[in-house]
Structure 1
């Protein structure tokens, strides 16, 4: 009887000690700029991949500011695309975050951790309403998602495609819409009808 009672108390003690660790997991993603940046241009995914839109968010920064890895991962690309310096990081779950215009300080294949410096911000991002913007993007496979969902811990699920397509937007840039200055909606945008993309970085 004493043995059974001892086992019961031991199990209770182990359960009590293990509970706090399981109840409070650490955050997986954070802002790629510090202090917390203002969102100066919202995520605006077009109905179809070939239409103009804004496949990420623009964060206000300063030229030469340190850019940080949003989460743990491996550098998948560090180079130039269309004359712009771009860096991409692959994360668990098939997610890839992209950062531009950023002069990389880490090489291809380097394992990085959340909050570690990966490069410096350059000026000259098209459509940026302030002196320097970090264009921060997120993809899962070929699907563009709102990167703010990583910060706000919202599920990255995709909505069903609607039958009617919205009106075509005009733009001064082949892949972006007119800049906005308000905080973007915190829900993922509907999935596009096709899986074609302009580039894979």
Structure 2
């Protein structure tokens, strides 16, 4: 897993105290600066003073729910990265969250490592200067140069290949479905065929010399996973 940068500020908002405590302790241990809030109203005050880089918002909260809070925070700070948490895996909720400005969406229960990977993915995409060059196994990624090195060799990548490989590597160890990849790399409103993912995966494997698919693995019926 990539090492989190010091000075990265995270805001956690959830009305379940045990979830707040668990996430706060884990993220503090990773080196983040963390503030918490038990509801949307308090979160607004905390965000105004704390100026977080990433806000992790529970959807189902009394009073102001996560959607309302996301909309408000987005109106105040457009560069803020927002990850929504929900106990329901409802497509309508996910679409609503993305439409009002959320950058990512996770369904409870989830693993801490997955949340950490998604936080770091948002930082890579929206605040690359905070992380600088990031090492993941044999990969070195520098988003300021839009450059990825594999075993110290610079890979010649198209812009889409760069975005795809970065997404796969940042989320190494996680199974990423074709719809997830299309959403993150091509955009959730992409109207093309899912098979485009296979085409780009094939190209990346060729450039990595991954003939036996040991780096980018295919999990039939599930998606792809990078193993480092």
TM-score by length of 2: 0.25
TM-score by length of 1: 0.27
Considering only CA atoms, is the larger Rg found in Structure 1 or Structure 2? 1
Q: Which has the higher contact order (CA 8 A, sep 6+)?
A: 1
